[in-house]
């Protein structure tokens, strides 16, 4: 796997094109496997009324549909900007081999997309976060995990 400026330019162009079309914020991403684009995504937060419709997540969804798999091992992702914590987590979950990005999180913050709070919050213990969280019915939920471990036809991921 190696960096290709062509794919990064495509992600940047996609971010500009879709932003100008009113799809959402100025973010684009492409996923590449064996030097071929297998997934494209752009920010659709406002057009889809979906706060999770970030470019990288949309590109992952597109690539997984196109490749008919939930694992993107062997793939690269090219993003017009350094991914936010949610997108970075999705990239890890998708098992993408390498991330290339253009603008960084400070550039995004300068344009009004500041993820600093999220980066701080995820490193805090649960009880210290600004989002209140409570745990209930743990034993009932644990029983489902136990059933999962015993399930013969489960697909590990």
What is the set of active-site residues? Answer: 56
Alpha-carbon distance 121 to 4, whole Å? 34
Q: Where are the alpha helices (DSSP H) in the chain?
A: 5-20, 45-48, 55-67, 85-94, 105-110, 116-123, 138-150
Distance of CA 13 to the CA centre of its chain: 19
Token pair 């971010």 in the structure block, residue = 15
Contact 28, 34 (CB under 8 A): no
């Amino acid at each position: 796997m190696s960096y290709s400026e062509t794919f990064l330019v495509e992600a940047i162009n996609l971010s500009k094109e879709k932003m100008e079309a009113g799809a959402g914020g100025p973010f684009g991403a492409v996923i590449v496997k064996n030097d071929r684009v297998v997934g494209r995504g752009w920010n659709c937060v406002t057009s889809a009324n979906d706060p999770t419709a970030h470019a990288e997540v949309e590109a992952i969804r597109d690539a997984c549909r196109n490749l008919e798999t939930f694992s993107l091992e062997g793939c690269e992702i090219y993003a017009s900007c350094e991914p936010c914590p949610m997108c970075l987590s999705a990239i890890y979950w998708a098992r993408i081999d390498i991330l290339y990005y253009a603008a960084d999180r400070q550039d995004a913050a300068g344009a009004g997309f500041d993820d600093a709070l999220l980066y701080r919050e995820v490193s805090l213990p649960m009880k210290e976060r600004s989002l209140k969280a409570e745990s209930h019915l743990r034993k009932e939920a644990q029983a489902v995990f136990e059933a999962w471990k015993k399930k013969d036809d489960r697909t590990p991921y």
